[in-house]
């Protein structure tokens, strides 16, 4: 679970405050069963056990007091000569070593400590679903009484972080973490339940090159730094400070191996000395005084390289306000949290800069912004589920929607509940609502979860709550309807959450809008693998389709199905009939299947397909639907139908990486890749008919 840089007050009974330790985030497994065993991982899963043997020894000794294995979350920090945590730069010489002799030497000269702040597993019990306060109480029971400075518990202040903030300012440390007392631990997610309150301005930057040294300086003069914006690396400044001779040499050797003739920056910077460009694969942590008016770093100082941060995730961090008012939510002490049903109403704001790896993604003005209303709604849903209560939420001002059975488990193996699905759709609503706007929806309901019996619902069976859009289509287009019974129409948060409340896991819109139901806005080729066919083969067929479409100059947009397949969408000219769009797809599908008969087929009979990928063009019939972009799916891994770049398809991806628990980070990293479908030039239908017939 990762913290978000967002507004947080310094006083709030709903929050627990901790110092923001400036080290290496670490997960630690301690098994007390003889012989005691300790394993340390970084947040990216890189094992660090051998690099901190003194911590391993102390943890092995501490294991004697444990009755069962535990998993701890915490921070490895360097210590000064008085035993106080100091900055990450003091670990820089340590984290890249592999020689045991060098590691032992630095262990003697630079002491370190592991500061635990969370307990994720206690024996066979997974503690992540418990509130933070309960996990903290369990952590204190297991580790109170450690008598070594190398093992510590984080300092906490309940409800009032002012004294910690003042001390952090006096000591020049990085700031605080404000954690919601009732928050559950969400593995791998960056959550508004944990928020960073920063004092010193510092963040990670991607290294895109270096400059020649001046005068007596060795190796290089300065590092050229950037952040990602809209999929492109933007230059933000250079730093020549913070290096010693040994670090200059080490960095220079790393940079030389990455040197390239092409600048990775969108606009190559002008430099006083000759620049050298590198592939953007290294990330440096830098502190600085402020951002200048032209968005450059003022007085940047190099602190060290980060091997636990992916370059593609680096973007400019916003500067949050501190001490803003916030409505109160239940909490009392580190060992106890209120469960009395207080209704939360919090107002954090998360502004994530979206980037993509392949050209402009046309993101919304404020991508992934969790505004005050959405944040309060998410908190309300979480509170109701925690207390196992039904209740009312407000998806928009003046609209009330009843939600029930939020703790009902929809994905038993993953322990994902109906409440978590509702919160997922609320979080990504700014992305999915434009996808379904004005489109009739088909519901596939799973009232008993993904393993229970599911059924389709084509129309509203009762009067929906105010704000939920239902419209009646002409009888000629909607013969299944009865007088007065309309279809749900997508585009509003109230409709999205109401359908989810009805246990509709996926969002399945028509390809046309209610304003012009006979005209499809786009068509799709559905790649459906036969049993036993690998996803690698699905990707092969997708690449061949892409090649054919590129030959025609036809734009196309791929996405995972959220299950085992892949969809390729093609934008159509205005007023294109469903029949014309389907003919276009039929020609492409038949052509690809004819060129690659061992891998692809258009055979409708399942038994006759063999071990091939069915290239299905028949989904383009009026009234048929596919799960839309960003829709959750009832797959065993809680997949999401995820937009991809063609670069990713050609490189190869695993669809199981894209789930309702990873999608928020995905969107922060690559942005709204699906926006291009709405803005792209349409396909030239005549071209395919001329070239392929």
Cis peptide before 35 (omega within 30 of 0): yes
Q: CA–CA separation, 323 vs 527, rounded Å?
A: 52
Q: Which of 313, 334, 364 is the last residue of a domain?
A: 313
In a shared domain, residues 529 and 569: yes
Identify which of 203, 635, 631 has the alpha carbon closest to the alpha carbon of residue 442. Answer: 631
- What is the model's pLDDT at position 476? 65
Determine the average pLDDT of the residues in 615-634: 96
Residue with tokens 């790649």: 527
Using 50, 70 and 90 to split pLDDT, how confident is the model at 645?
Answer: very high
Least-confidence region, from 219-233, 348-362, 403-417: 348-362
Q: Encoding tokens for residue 193?
A: 């339940």
- What is the model's pLDDT at position 327? 28
Least-confidence region, from 271-285, 293-307, 491-505, 640-654: 293-307
Q: Encoding tokens for residue 444?
A: 């596939």
In a shared domain, residues 434 and 301: no
CB 355 within 8 A of CB 362: no
Distances in whole angstroms, Cα of residue 461 to Cα of each of 339, 470, 481, 503: 36, 11, 10, 15
Domain of 654: which CATH number?
3.90.920.10
- What is the model's pLDDT at position 368? 55
485/500: higher pLDDT: 500
Q: How many domains in the chain?
A: 4
Using 50, 70 and 90 to split pLDDT, how confident is the model at 93?
Answer: low
Q: Encoding tokens for residue 192?
A: 């508004």
Task: Note the pLDDT tens digit of each residue in 326-335.
Answer: 222 222 223 3
Least-confidence region, from 190-199, 378-387, 516-525, 655-664: 190-199
Helices (H), 181-311: 245-257
Report the largest interatomic distance among the alpha carbons of the chain, rounded to a whole angstrom.
87
Average pLDDT, the chain: 85
CB 264 within 8 A of CB 275: no
Q: Which of 509, 544, 579 is the last residue of a domain?
A: 509
Q: Check whether 85 has a pLDDT greater than 80.
A: yes
Domain of 267: which CATH number?
2.40.50.140
In a shared domain, residues 436 and 492: yes
What distance lies between CA 635 and its chain's CA centroid?
19
Using 50, 70 and 90 to split pLDDT, how confident is the model at 241?
Answer: confident
Q: What are phi and psi of 52, to 5 degrees?
A: -135, 65
Determine the average pLDDT of the residues in 647-666: 92
Report the percentage of the chain scoring pLDDT > 90: 59
Q: CA–CA separation, 471 vs 458, rounded Å?
A: 12
- What is the model's pLDDT at position 43? 80
Task: Note the pLDDT tens digit of each residue in 540-599.
Answer: 999 999 999 999 999 999 999 999 999 999 999 999 999 999 999 999 999 999 999 999
In a shared domain, residues 559 and 679: yes
Structural domain for 483, as ranges: 404-509
Determine the average pLDDT of the residues in 141-168: 86
Using 50, 70 and 90 to split pLDDT, how confident is the model at 320?
Answer: low
- What is the model's pLDDT at position 319? 60
Residues 6+ apart with CB under 8 A from 515: 438
**Within-domain flag for 351:** no
In a shared domain, residues 45 and 133: yes
**Within-domain flag for 297:** yes
Q: What are phi and psi of 688, to 5 degrees?
A: -70, -35
Task: Note the pLDDT tens digit of each residue in 479-488.
Answer: 554 555 789 9
| CA geometry: angle 117, 204, 219, nearest 5 deg | 125
Q: Check whether 463 has a pLDDT greater than 90.
A: no
Q: Check whether 95 has a pLDDT greater than 80.
A: no
- What is the model's pLDDT at position 480? 53
Strand 223-229 with 232-239, pairing: antiparallel
Identify which of 596, 593, 546, 537 has the alpha carbon closest to the alpha carbon of residue 568. Answer: 546
What distance lies between CA 562 and its chain's CA centroid?
16
In a shared domain, residues 560 and 659: yes
Determine the average pLDDT of the residues in 659-678: 91
Domain of 52: which CATH number?
3.30.470.30
- What is the model's pLDDT at position 45? 78
**Within-domain flag for 437:** yes
Identify which of 611, 678, 41 has the alpha carbon closest to the alpha carbon of residue 363. Answer: 678
Helices (H), 7-86: 53-62
In a shared domain, residues 551 and 666: yes
Least-confidence region, from 172-181, 195-204, 269-278, 446-455: 195-204
- What is the model's pLDDT at position 459? 85
Q: CA–CA separation, 89 vs 77, rounded Å?
A: 10
- What is the model's pLDDT at position 540? 96
Q: Check whether 6 has a pLDDT greater than 70.
A: no
Q: CA–CA separation, 641 vs 658, rounded Å?
A: 8
209/461: higher pLDDT: 209
Q: CA–CA separation, 310 vs 308, rounded Å?
A: 7
**Within-domain flag for 2:** no
**Helix or strand holding residue 550 (H, E):** helix 535-551
Total Cβ atoms within 10 A of residue 446: 21
Determine the average pLDDT of the residues in 370-374: 75
Q: Check whether 364 has a pLDDT greater than 50.
A: no
Query: Exposure pattern of 504-518 as b/e (b: 16+ CB <10 Å)?
Result: bbbbbbbbbbbeebe
In a shared domain, residues 577 and 616: yes
Using 50, 70 and 90 to split pLDDT, how confident is the model at 454?
Answer: very high
Report the percentage of the chain scoring pLDDT > 70: 87
In a shared domain, residues 686 and 625: yes
Distances in whole angstroms, Cα of residue 522 to Cα of each of 398, 554, 558: 35, 12, 13
Q: Check whether 494 has a pLDDT greater than 60.
A: yes
In a shared domain, residues 56 and 106: yes
Q: Encoding tokens for residue 558?
A: 């791929």
Task: Note the pLDDT tens digit of each residue in 42-61.
Answer: 887 788 898 899 999 999 99
Determine the average pLDDT of the residues in 261-270: 94
**Within-domain flag for 13:** no
- What is the model's pLDDT at position 295? 86
Q: Which of 153, 185, 211 is the last residue of a domain?
A: 153
Strand 70-79 with 112-122, pairing: antiparallel
**Helix or strand holding residue 560 (H, E):** strand 557-560
Task: Note the pLDDT tens digit of each residue in 413-446.
Answer: 999 999 999 999 999 999 999 999 999 999 999 9
Q: Check whether 370 has a pLDDT greater than 70.
A: no
Distance spanning both ends of the chain, measured CA to CA:
55
Least-confidence region, from 242-246, 415-419, 449-453: 242-246
Q: Alpha-carbon torsion 370, 374, 379, 381, what sign?
A: negative
Q: Check whether 351 has a pLDDT greater than 50.
A: no
**Within-domain flag for 377:** no
In a shared domain, residues 149 and 282: no
- Catalytic residue positions? 20
- What is the model's pLDDT at position 366? 38
**Within-domain flag for 136:** yes
Tell me if residue 585 falls in helix, strand or coil.
helix
Tell me the β-bridge partners of 197: 176
| CA geometry: angle 474, 477, 478, nearest 5 deg | 80
Identify which of 111, 108, 100, 50 has the alpha carbon closest to the alpha carbon of residue 78. Answer: 111
- HEC assignment per residue over 220-255: CCCEEEEEEECCEEEEEEEECCCCCHHHHHHHHHHH
In a shared domain, residues 594 and 502: no
Q: How many CA atoms lie within 13 A of 128 on its CB side?
A: 15
Q: What are phi and psi of 13, to 5 degrees?
A: -65, -15
Q: Check whether 498 has a pLDDT greater than 60.
A: yes
Q: Encoding tokens for residue 279?
A: 């592939």
- What is the model's pLDDT at position 329? 28
**Within-domain flag for 517:** no
Residue with tokens 């109170």: 144
């Amino acid at each position: 679970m990762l913290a978000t840089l967002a507004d947080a007050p310094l006083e709030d009974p709903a929050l627990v405050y901790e110092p923001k330790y400036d080290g290496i985030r670490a997960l630690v497994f301690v098994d007390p069963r003889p012989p005691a065993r300790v394993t340390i991982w970084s947040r990216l899963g890189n094992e660090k056990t051998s690099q901190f043997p003194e911590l391993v020894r102390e943890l092995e000794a501490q294991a004697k007091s444990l009755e069962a294995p535990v998993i701890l979350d915490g921070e490895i920090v360097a210590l000064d000569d008085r035993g106080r945590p100091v900055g990450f730069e003091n670990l820089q010489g340590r984290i890249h070593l592999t020689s045991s002799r060098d590691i032992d030497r630095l262990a003697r000269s630079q002491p370190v400590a592991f500061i635990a702040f969370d307990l994720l597993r206690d024996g066979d019990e997974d503690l992540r679903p418990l509130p933070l306060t309960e996990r903290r109480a369990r952590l204190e029971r297991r580790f109170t009484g450690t008598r070594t400075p190398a093992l510590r518990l984080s300092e906490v202040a309940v409800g009032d972080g002012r004294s910690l903030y003042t001390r952090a300012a006096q000591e020049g440390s990085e700031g605080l973490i404000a954690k919601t007392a009732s928050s559950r631990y969400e593995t791998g997610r960056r959550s508004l339940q944990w928020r960073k309150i920063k004092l010193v301005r510092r963040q990670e930057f991607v290294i895109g090159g270096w400059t020649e040294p001046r005068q007596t300086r060795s190796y290089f003069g300065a590092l050229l730094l950037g952040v990602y914006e809209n999929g492109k690396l933007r230059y933000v400044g250079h730093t020549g400070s913070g290096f010693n001779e040994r670090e200059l040499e080490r960095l220079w050797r790393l940079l030389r191996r990455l040197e390239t003739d092409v600048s990775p920056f969108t606009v190559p910077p002008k430099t006083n000395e000759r620049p050298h460009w590198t592939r953007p694969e290294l990330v440096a942590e830098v502190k600085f005084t402020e951002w200048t008016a032209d968005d450059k770093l003022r007085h940047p100082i190099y602190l060290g390289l980060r091997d636990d941060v992916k370059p593609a995730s680096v973007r400019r961090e916003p500067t949050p306000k501190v001490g803003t008012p916030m409505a109160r939510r239940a909490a009392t002490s580190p060992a106890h949290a209120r469960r009395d049903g207080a209704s939360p109403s919090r107002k954090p704001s998360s502004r994530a800069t979206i980037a993509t790896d392949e050209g402009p993604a046309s993101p919304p003005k404020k991508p992934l912004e969790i505004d005050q209303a959405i944040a309060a709604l998410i908190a309300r849903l979480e509170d109701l589920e925690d207390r196992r209560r039904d209740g009312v939420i407000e998806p928009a001002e003046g609209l009330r929607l009843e939600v029930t059975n939020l703790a009902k488990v929809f994905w038993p193996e993953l322990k994902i509940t109906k409440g978590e699905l509702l919160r997922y759709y609320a979080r990504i609503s700014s992305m999915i609502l434009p996808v379904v706007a004005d489109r009739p929806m088909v519901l596939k309901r799973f009232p008993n979860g993904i393993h229970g019996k599911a059924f389709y619902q084509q129309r509203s069976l009762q009067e929906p709550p105010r704000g939920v859009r239902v419209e009646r289509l002409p009888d000629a287009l909607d013969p299944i309807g009865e007088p007065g019974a309309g279809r749900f129409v997508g585009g509003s948060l109230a409709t999205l959450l109401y359908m989810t409340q009805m246990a509709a896991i996926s969002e399945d819109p028509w390809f046309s809008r209610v304003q012009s139901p006979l005209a499809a806005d786009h068509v799709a080729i559905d790649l459906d693998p036969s049993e036993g066919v690998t996803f690698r083969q699905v990707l092969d067929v997708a690449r061949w389709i892409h090649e054919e479409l590129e030959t025609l100059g036809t734009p196309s947009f791929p996405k995972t199905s959220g299950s085992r397949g892949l969809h390729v969408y093609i934008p159509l000219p205005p007023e294109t009939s469903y029949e014309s769009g389907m003919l276009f797809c039929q020609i492409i599908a038949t052509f690809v299947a004819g060129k690659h008969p061992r891998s692809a087929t258009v055979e409708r009979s399942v038994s006759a397909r063999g071990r091939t990928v069915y290239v299905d063009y028949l989904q383009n019939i009026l009234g048929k639907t596919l799960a839309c972009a960003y829709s959750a799916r009832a797959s065993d891994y809680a997949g999401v139908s995820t937009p991809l770049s063609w670069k990713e398809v050609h490189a190869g991806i695993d669809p199981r990486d894209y789930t309702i628990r990873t999608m928020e980070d995905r969107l922060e990293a690559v942005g709204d890749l699906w926006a291009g479908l709405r803005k792209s030039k349409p396909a030239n239908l005549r071209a395919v008919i001329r070239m392929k017939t």
